A and B are shown apart, each in its own frame.
Chain A
Amino acid sequence: DGGITQSPKYLFRKEGQNVTLSCEQNLNHDAMYWYRQDPGQGLRLIYYSQIVNDFQKGDIAEGYSVSREKKESFPLTVTSAQKNPTAFYLCASSIGADLPTNEKLFFGSGTQLSVL
């Protein structure tokens, strides 16, 4: 059963704490992405990776960090520098990052992060 698995489903962060969101895919896709979704604002790109050991900043990368040590995994760390982290975080993948292979994104089920 191929797909993208995000964990945990719900996560709570204390003040000054770093938290890591997990994203694993078994679709053998080269490209992976992290989006943030806030009510009324659609999806905004945080980081993306086209290949192992390489990643690029998206539109709202400040306060976040990522790694891509394995093709299947693209964890996102929300650092204490992110002052407004409460949001729904979505991980996605595509066959490649360049057209025409990246128009179809496959999404995970998301992680809701809240601040305590």
Chain B
Amino acid sequence: QKEVEQDPGPLSVPEGAIVSLNCTYSNSAFQYFMWYRQYSRKGPELLMYTYSSGNKEDGRFTAQVDKSSKYISLFIRDSQPSDSATYLCAMKKTSNTGKLIFGQGTTLQVKP
């Protein structure tokens, strides 16, 4: 069983839809949770960063962490064609130097 599971999709939605992207994990030692966005054949870029449980909002993006269920989500409101990309969740244990564990990535397509 992988430490971090993410549905690879692809997920296709119409422009303006609310998108929900999710990851589950098995190790309760994870404390730091991130979402990276990766456009085709480019390097990922950090989108959202959350420590422990709770919600964090940044514009149209909301990151949610539920440590009791070992489940994290990224919500995108009013989705745009420019949001079409692969979204990777990543997480880290407090004790781990240099080691981020990534999910497989979910490919999102927003159709105009």
Which residues of A line the B interface, CB within 8 A? 4, 31, 33, 35, 40-45, 48, 50, 56, 58, 88, 90, 92, 97-99, 102-105, 107-110, 112
Given known A4-B43, A41-B104, contact A103–B32 (CB-CB < 8 A):
yes
- Interface residue tally of chain B, by bracket? 20 to 34
- Min CB distance B97 to A, Å, is 5
Residue among B32, B45, B99 making CB contact with A45, cutoff 8 Å: B99
Which chain B residue has the least Cβ–Cβ distance from A10? B41
- Min CB distance B103 to A, Å, is 6
- Min CB distance A10 to B, Å, is 10
In Å, the complex CA distance between A91 and B74 comes to 25
Which chain A residue has the least Cβ–Cβ distance from B105? A42
In Å, the complex CA distance between A36 and B2 comes to 17
Given known A88-B41, A97-B98, contact A105–B46 (CB-CB < 8 A):
yes
B43 touches A90 (CB 8 A): yes
B98 touches A110 (CB 8 A): no
Given known A33-B98, A40-B8, A105-B100, contact A90–B44 (CB-CB < 8 A):
yes
* Chain A residues, Cβ within 8 Å of B63: none
In Å, the complex CA distance between A104 and B104 comes to 19
Q: What are 7 A-B interface contacts by the 8 Å CB criterion?
A: A43-B44, A45-B98, A88-B41, A97-B98, A98-B98, A102-B98, A103-B100
Is B71 positioned at the interface, with any CB of A under 8 Å from its CB?
no
- Min CB distance A104 to B, Å, is 5
In Å, the complex CA distance between A40 and B105 comes to 7
* Chain A residues, Cβ within 8 Å of B36: 105
- One digit per residue, 1 when the CB lies within 8 angstroms of any chain A CB and 0 when it does not, for chain B 10-43 equals 0000000000000000000000101010000111
In Å, the complex CA distance between A97 and B105 comes to 23
